[in-house]
């Protein structure tokens, strides 16, 4: 706090304001006309500014005899009192701030100039000090007066002048300035206590330790009514033990309460006026009717209630605002409203450009696939028939990669159908982190706007709240809950799309929405879920939520759901969503050799027809491939579409069928070695190289293996690799990555074959490499030797235990003979394997 200072404004410092000098006796003739005809204004030398907290910052103003104090209100705007709450706001800055504020509108109207205007020249008084009270909106004016007039009379003169000549400041054009004499001892505090309409009047003794009388309501009314209308007077309850005694005065206006408090604080009420025998002093202070910041204080003191409530309100607001927008975008995504390829203008330009430019690749692919669709015409018709029927179950299309599942559904079975939604599980499942997963799921259905980044921020808020108040705030949501919101909005949009074709004049107009959807299955949209169980993760949250959501769509007759999957064990995951339903299944395998040959030739013929400048179709010799060789190549390659397209592209480049198939087999063999046999970084593999080589070696000699026979082999039944100890899990993992294929019979695995037809030839090529075969056979024999050695150790330990018995009963004899036989058999196996291992090591040492 700065030291006290008084600043005096000297009008003679400005030449235009200089007045003739006057003697001291002229003070008593103030207001009279001099001989020159001018009024003597010597009394107008005014001290214009002082500290706001009184003299020497004591909080009080001293007044001698012939001195008194007037309080003028409505000098400063009360609405600026909030600036005093700023802790960095210094007291010395406030007059400058208010002066700049006033200068923006009326630069000539300084606040303290209003005080000068409010005092008439005819009143015999000399202003000695002005103390502004910014938070009270007024100012104390200390003045001296001659002996011939009292302060009360001066108060009457000033008040009458202000009534006859009202002065209204610019910030309060409807309220005039008022003035009253200070009859008490005002307290000029600068605490953070701000005016209100309620005043608390405390009754204290004049001298310490003396008695104090509690003034009646009538006495208080007579003392305070002159300052403004009183709305209520509330005395202290009779049973209250609070000292000192007090009463509340409620004024109708805040300005009236301010005037009363500044004029009456510290007044001494004598016995004649009702103040008791020893007299009573009144201490006045502003009292807030309602506790300041009580709402904020309650919120801050109840975080366990407030934080979850705020989270719920934010979630509700977000739902009300964004859910209709998201539903609109999902409907547009399902209807293809914003797809440019479905636009009529785009289609017209495309048809015109097709007549000028040739799209060789596109036409050749369409021609080649035409042969496939002709062969699968029955499957396409079956799918279209199912989509016209009411059945609350899934349609599952299962087949290996490259079998044309997606093209079969989207390009043929759903060709020309508008209300289709494709959800690809692959980008959703492979997304890293919850935010990326949410973004991928939202993009697949057109769900926008999506604030996936809020998931991380909400998690941090939730973690901070849990560390602070001990419970979760509820701001953050699990991945399960957020995916549920996306699928729920999608279901709402799909139902609206399904009901869009409903007309008021239909014969079924009287039916409810659910009954109408059940009666019109042809109007339901179709949801295609591609790459279901992409990574063979049955317990994934993504797959579980999709399956549950799809079950709701199917059971509610909202949409038809088609699953496209490579996994043969899809029924485990889908049965959890629909446990009491039989799925409609279609198994897509490899195409027949005749269709495969037609597919390749159609590719080549279409390419030849599209070559510019060719009027005559080239012969087989001119196109550098032999049709007779193509039959043998297709027999090796099989009927996998991706492999057939690869072969057709190689033949287009001028390769012969034999050379092309040889390179395809060599490439496949390299992929098998790199991915399954010679991988240095095992990562999260669920199989061992020994198990993969066992299958490669077995399938090279036999195209079909018995499923259970493979499980019973030592390599699968007793593997030493921790992640590959479960034989069935190993076979499912290898089937998921398409090294092998598993065929089922009556729902159980029956046989094992190569994952692709071309892999059969690749397996044979791998087994013909003596060095590779010796290396991997050596690994298998080493593992088998370790397994048998463990068995031998177990037999020896049990024999040792039996031999340590003090007496050997007759009953343990068969057990000993059994263990000895097992020990001998295991030893013979180990010796035979050691001999084979020696031969294999010699091969590895002699050959490159």
Q: Residues 807, 750: one domain?
A: no
Q: What is the 8-class DSSP label of residue 39?
A: B
Phi, psi (degrees; rounded to nearest 5) at 59 = 90, 5
Q: Name the 3-class secondary structure at 197.
A: coil
Looking at residue 671, which CATH number applies to its domain? 1.10.10.10
User: Does 344 share its domain with 279?
Assistant: no
CATH code, 134: 3.30.70
SS3 label, residue 83 = helix
**Do 754 and 803 belong together in one domain?**
no
**Number of compact structural domains in the chain:** 5
Answer yes or no: do 694 and 575 share one domain: no
Residue where one domain finishes, among candidates 121, 154, 181: 181
Q: Is 680 helix (H, G, I), strand (E, B) or coil?
A: coil
pTM of the model: 0.60
Give the DSSP letter of residue 622: T
CA angle (528 as vertex; 527, 532 as ends), nearest 5:
125
Please check whether residue 314 lies inside any domain of the structure: no
Supply angle C-alpha 166, 170, 172, rounded to 5.
70
Quick one: pLDDT at residue 757?
Answer: 87
Token reading at 169: 């400041």
Assess whether 222 and 255 both reside in one domain: yes
494 token code pair = 């799909």
3-state secondary structure 336-382: CCCCHHHCHHHHHHHHHHHHHCCCHHHHHHHHHHHHHHHHCHHHHHH
Answer positive or negative: Cα dihedral of 463, 468, 470, 475: negative
Whether 744 maps to a domain, the answer reads yes
- pLDDT score of 452: 65
- 505 assigned to some structural domain: yes
Q: Does 413 lie in the same domain as 562?
A: yes
Instruction: State the Cα–Cα distance between residues 476 and 479, nearest whole angstrom.
Output: 10
Identify the CA nearest to 387 among candidates 192, 525, 570: 525
Given 287, 307, 335, which residue is the final one in a domain? 287
pLDDT, residue 346, reads 67
Q: In DSSP terms, which residues pair with 204 in a beta bridge?
A: 281
Cα–Cα distances (Å) from 736 to 535, 536, 685, 740, in that order, read: 7, 6, 12, 8
In a shared domain, residues 110 and 220:
no
Domain-terminating residue out of 740, 768, 796 = 768
Give the chain's end-to-end CA distance (angstroms, integer): 95
Per-residue pLDDT, 230:
95
Q: From residue 721, how far is each of 672, 715, 784, 830 by CA, in Å?
A: 20, 10, 12, 20
What are the residue ranges in the chain where pLDDT is below 70? 1-52, 80-112, 290-292, 339-344, 346-348, 350-369, 371, 452-477, 536-539, 605-628, 679-684
Alpha carbon 755 to chain centroid, angstroms = 42
Same domain, 721 and 667: yes
HSE toward the beta carbon, residue 433, CA cutoff 13 A: 8
Q: Which residues form the domain of 808?
A: 787-847
In a domain, 495, yes or no: yes
- Token reading at 457: 């921020």
How many Å apart are CA 621 and CA 642, to the nearest integer? 26
Same domain, 398 and 487: yes
Q: b vs e for 31-50, b when ≥16 Cβ sit within 10 Å of the residue's Cβ?
A: eeeeeeeeebebbeebbbbb
- Could you tell me which of 282, 243, 289 has the C-alpha nearest to residue 262? 282
Note whether 145 and 123 are within 8 A (CB): no
Which CATH number does the domain housing residue 262 bear? 3.30.70.330
Q: Do 335 and 444 have their domain in common?
A: yes
Residue 437 falls within a domain, yes or no?
yes
Instruction: Find all residues with CB under 8 Å of 623, minimum gap 6, and list them.
Output: 604, 608
Token code pair at residue 829 = 């196996």
- Residue 828 inside a domain? The answer is yes
Cα gap 643→135, rounded to integer Å = 88
Co-location of 692 and 562 in the same domain: no
Whether 828 and 731 share a structural domain: no
- Asked if 668 and 756 touch (Cβ cutoff 8 Å), the reply is yes
Query: Is 244:203 a contact under the CB 8 Å cutoff?
Result: yes
Backbone dihedral angles phi then psi of residue 373, each to the nearest 5 degrees? -65, -30
Angle among Cα 389, 391, 393 to the nearest 5 degrees reads: 135
Contact 326, 410 (CB under 8 A): no
Peptide bond connecting 498 to the previous residue in cis, omega within 30 degrees of 0: no
Tell me, yes or no, whether 16 lies in a domain: no
Is 39 inside a domain boundary? no
């Amino acid at each position: 706090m700065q030291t006290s200072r008084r600043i005096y404004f000297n009008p003679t410092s400005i030449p235009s304001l200089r007045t003739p000098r006057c003697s001291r006796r002229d003070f008593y003739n103030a207001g009279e006309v001099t001989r020159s005809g001018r009024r003597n204004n010597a009394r107008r030398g005014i001290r214009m500014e002082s500290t706001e907290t009184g003299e020497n910052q004591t909080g009080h103003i001293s007044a001698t005899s012939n001195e008194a104090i007037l309080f003028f209100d409505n000098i400063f705007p009360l609405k600026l009192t909030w600036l005093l709450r700023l802790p960095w706001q210094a007291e010395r800055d406030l007059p400058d701030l208010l002066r700049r504020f006033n200068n923006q509108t009326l630069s000539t109207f300084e606040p303290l100039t209003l005080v000068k205007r409010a005092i008439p020249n005819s009143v015999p008084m000399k202003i000695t000090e002005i103390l502004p009270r910014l938070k009270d909106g007024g100012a104390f004016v200390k003045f001296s007066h001659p002996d011939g007039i009292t302060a009360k009379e001066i108060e009457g003169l000033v008040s009458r002048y202000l009534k006859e000549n009202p002065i209204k400041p610019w910030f309060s054009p409807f309220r005039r300035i008022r003035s009253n004499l200070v009859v008490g001892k005002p307290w000029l505090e600068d605490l953070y206590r701000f005016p209100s309409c309620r005043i608390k009047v405390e009754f204290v003794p004049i001298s310490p330790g003396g008695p104090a009388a509690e003034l009646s309501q009538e006495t208080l009314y007579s003392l305070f009514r002159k300052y403004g209308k009183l709305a209520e007077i509330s005395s202290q309850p009779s049973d209250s033990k609070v000292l000192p005694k007090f009463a509340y005065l409620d004024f109708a206006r805040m300005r009236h309460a301010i005037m009363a408090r500044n004029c009456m604080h510290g007044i001494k009420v004598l016995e004649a006026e009702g103040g008791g025998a020893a007299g009573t002093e009144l201490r006045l202070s502003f009292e807030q009717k309602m506790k300041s910041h009580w709402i904020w204080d309650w919120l801050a003191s109840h975080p366990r209630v407030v934080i979850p409530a705020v989270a719920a309100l934010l979630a509700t607001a977000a739902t009300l605002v964004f859910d209709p927008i998201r539903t609109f975008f999902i409907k547009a995504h399902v209807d293809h409203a914003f797809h440019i390829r479905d636009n009529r203008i785009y289609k017209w330009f495309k048809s015109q450009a097709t007549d000028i430019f040739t799209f060789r690749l596109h036409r050749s692919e369409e021609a080649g696939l035409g042969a496939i669709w002709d062969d699968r015409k029955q499957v396409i018709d079956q799918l279209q028939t199912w989509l016209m029927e009411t059945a609350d179950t899934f349609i599952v299309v299962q087949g290996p990669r490259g079998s044309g599942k997606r093209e079969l559904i989207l390009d043929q079975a759903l060709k020309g159908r508008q209300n289709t939604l494709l959800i690809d599980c692959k980008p959703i499942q492979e997304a890293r982190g919850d935010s990326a997963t949410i973004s991928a799921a939202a993009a697949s259905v057109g769900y926008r706007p999506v604030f996936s980044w809020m998931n991380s921020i909400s998690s941090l808020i939730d973690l901070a709240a849990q560390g602070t108040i001990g419970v979760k705030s509820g701001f953050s949501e699990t991945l399960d809950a957020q995916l549920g919101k996306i699928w729920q909005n999608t279901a709402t949009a799909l139902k609206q799309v399904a009901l869009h074709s409903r007309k008021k004049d239909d014969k079924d107009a009287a039916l409810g929405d659910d009954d109408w959807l059940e009666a019109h299955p042809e109007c339901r949209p179709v949801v295609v879920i591609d790459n279901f169980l992409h990574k063979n993760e049955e317990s994934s949250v993504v797959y579980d939520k999709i399956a549950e959501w799809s079950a709701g769509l199917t059971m509610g007759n909202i949409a038809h759901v088609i699953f496209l999957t490579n996994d043969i064990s899809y029924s485990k995951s889908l049965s959890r969503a629909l446990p009491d339903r039989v799925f409609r299944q279609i198994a897509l395998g490899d195409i027949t050799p005749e269709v495969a040959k037609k597919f390749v030739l159609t590719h080549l013929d279409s390419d030849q027809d599209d070559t510019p400048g060719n009027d005559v179709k080239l012969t087989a010799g001119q196109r550098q491939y032999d049709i007779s060789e193509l039959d043998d190549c297709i027999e090796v390659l099989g009927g996998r579409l991706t492999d057939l397209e690869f072969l057709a592209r190689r033949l287009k480049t001028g390769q012969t069928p034999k050379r092309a198939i040889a390179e395809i087999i060599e490439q496949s063999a390299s992929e098998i070695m790199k991915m399954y046999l010679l991988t240095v970084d095992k990562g999260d593999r669920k199989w061992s190289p020994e198990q993969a080589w066992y299958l490669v070696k077995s399938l090279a000699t036999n195209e079909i293996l018995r499923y259970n026979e493979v499980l019973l082999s030592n390599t699968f039944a007793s593997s030493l690799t921790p992640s590959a100890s479960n034989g069935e899990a190993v076979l499912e993992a290898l089937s998921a990555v398409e090294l092998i294929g598993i065929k089922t019979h009556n729902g159980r695995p029956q046989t094992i074959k190569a994952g692709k037809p071309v892999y059969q030839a690749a397996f044979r090529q791998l087994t013909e490499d003596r060095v590779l075969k010796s290396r991997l056979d050596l690994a298998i024999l080493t593992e088998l030797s370790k397994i048998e050695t463990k068995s031998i150790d177990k037999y020896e330990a049990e024999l040792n235990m039996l031999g340590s018995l003090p007496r050997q009963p007759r009953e343990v004899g068969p057990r000993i003979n059994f263990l000895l036989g097992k020990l001998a058999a295991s030893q013979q196996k180990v010796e035979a394997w050691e001999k084979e291992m020696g031969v294999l090591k010699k091969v590895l040492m002699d050959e490159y």
